[in-house]
Structure 1
Amino acid sequence: MKLEGKKVLLTGGSSGIGLATAQALLAKGAQVVISGRRQDALAEAVSRLGSFGKVDSVAADVSTEEGRAATLSAATATLGGLDILINNAGGVRAGRLEDTSEAEIRAMVEVDLVAPILLTRAALPALRASGDGLVVNVTSGIALVGTPFYATYAAVKAGLARFGEALRRELKGEGVHMLTVYPSGTDTPMMKSNRAGPDLGFSREQASSVADAIVAGIEADAFEVIRGGEARSRMIALNREDPAPIDQRFLDLKPALAEAVRDHSAL
């Protein structure tokens, strides 16, 4: 897909991977609307992005019916249609499952899974009308290799990944493609309260590197983008073929990992 002139709605666009992806898309000549919950953060993001191209914003919570409707309505009106929807908004709460409140679990399910499914459903008529539509779902490497203390997050991100795969096949031949992105640890505001480092399996790359990979995936009409390099690829393969060694490795890391991620929250 050529990105020049494409009309893009990107959720969670005021910081992190979303902000970096918006900048990378603008550099390719796309028109972008970013969404988020905080008007002040969006205003700052639009100011930073303005020098790269045409960008607008809409303040709304896509985990609510009203927020999704407002987001899509504002974006399509501003852009005059829609070619690409990027479901990037997300939230996380780490920790033992029995220590995670029902409200926190439901918040992850709503923002990480229900919201992108329903926003995609609502956007499909506009994407079909484009004739060259695309939905990009930003999931997580944890969707491919489950990590202790991220059980609910792994569940919703894996659910979003399979949603994208199934819908890609459902929409085959109808002018709408699906791309699933699996970032590894990324240096974003969402990760600030996570104290785990490379020794615990949480190496971090720059958000701009993930954004460049997303743009390359879009341009190549790829099915998926998996970050983390060869080490991650080997771990994914081992997890499918013989997960016992990975279980043992996490058992050895469990006490330190539990302490490092117990305050990781971005909901």
Structure 2
Amino acid sequence: MQINGKRIVITGGSSGIGYALARSLLARGAHVLIVGRDADKAAQAARRLSDEGRTVHAVVADVATDAGRAAILAGARHHLGGLDVLVNNAGGVRAGRLETIDADTIRQMIDVNLLAPILLTRQALPMLRESGDAVVLNVASAIALVGMPFYTIYAATKAGLARFSEALRRELKHEGVHVITAYPGGTDTPMMRNNRAGPDLGFSLEPATDVAEAIADGLATEAFEVIRGGPARTEMVALNRTDPGALDARFAGLKAALEEAVSDHSAM
């Protein structure tokens, strides 16, 4: 895909991977609209991006609501004149043992991480079809490829999003809408600030700019997926398929330390 001139909406675009991706795509000549729930943060992000000489628009909306999704698409039509690329990036996490996470938080994670991107994509498809050269880019997680203890709900939602992407890509083949799935590993973003797990527990943090550049490259080449983590991640994914018990044993040895380190990891 030629990114220059493309009209792109990024949910969760006021910070973290979404913000870094907006910056990368703007530098490549895209017209970008970022979406965030917090009006001040969205305005500040748009201002910072605009200060670099690019025109960027912001919409304040909650992707988990019908009104929010309608506002996003109305904003795309109003500010961009249409839509070529939808980036479903907004998400939330709450780590901990399954029995300690309350039902409302579980529903919130499912709504934001899985149901919202499905419904927003569904509603955006008519506009994407108008483009004739469109992409849906879903930001899942490396945890969708290898489930980690104490991230049961997050893993479930991100794995669901990944399989949604794969099935939709095949459903839309040769219809002018391509679908890409991104699998970031641990990334240095605000979402990770209260996660105390380090590299010894499998949480090496990559700069958000590096993840964003890889995703932008994947968009440019119309990749099927963008997986971060290098050879170590590739090895872990392969082992999870061929000898999952070996990973079970590895995680068992880390369980006590991991549970303590992620006990306060919440970004909802």
TM-score computed with the length of structure 1 as normaliser: 0.99
Pair 1:39 & 2:39 matched: yes
Name the counterpart of 2:69. Answer: 68
| 2:254 is the alignment partner of 1:236 | no
Return 5+ residue gaps in structure 1 as ranges: none
Displacement of 1:260 = 0.3
Distance across 1 between alignment mates of 2:85 and 2:26: 13
Within 5 A, what are the aligned runs for 1:1-267? 1-50=1-50, 51-267=52-268
- Number of residues paired by the alignment? 267
Residues 31-74 of structure 1: CA distance to partner in whole angstroms, max 9, x if unpaired? 00000100100111011101242200000100011111111111
The whole-number CA distance in structure 2 between the counterparts of 1:179 and 1:57 is 23
Q: Deviations over 1:1-49 (max 9, x none)?
A: 0100000000000000000000000000000000010010011101110
CA distance in 1, matches of 2:88, 2:114: 10
Structure 2 gap segments, 5+ residues each: none
The 3 A distance-change label for structure 1 pair 142 and 52 is farther
How far apart, CA to CA, are the structure 1 residues paired with 2:73 and 2:128? 12
SS state at 1:9 partner: strand
SS in 1 for 2:2: coil
State the alpha-carbon separation in 1 of the partners of residues 221 and 174 from structure 2: 17
Q: For residues 199-250 of structure 1, what are the alpha-carbon distances to aligned partners after superposition, in whole Å with 9 as ceiling and x for unaligned?
A: 0000000000000000100111100000000000000000011111110010
What's the RMSD between the two structures over aligned residues? 0.5
- Secondary structure at the aligned position of 1:135 is classed as strand
Q: Could you tell me how far apart the structure 1 residues matched to 2:28 and 2:155 are?
A: 32
Q: CA deviation at 1:105?
A: 0.3
Measure, in 1, the Cα distance between the counterparts of 2:48 and 2:86: 21
CA drift of 1:265 comes to 0.3
On the 8 A contact 1:6/1:30 being kept in 2, the answer is yes
Among the aligned pairs, what percent are the same residue? Answer: 63
Deviations along 1:78-132, whole A, 9 cap, x unmatched? Answer: 1001000000000000000000000110000000000000000000001111000
CA distance in 1, matches of 2:64, 2:242: 36
SS of 2:116's partner is helix
- How many Å separate the matches in 2 of 1:52 and 1:204? 29
Distance (whole Å) between structure 2 residues aligned to residue 92 and residue 27 of structure 1: 30
The aligned amino acid for 1:244 is: G
- C-alpha separation between the residues in 2 aligned to 1:34 and 1:76? 13
Matched letter for residue 97 of structure 2: R
- SS of the residue aligned with 1:180? strand
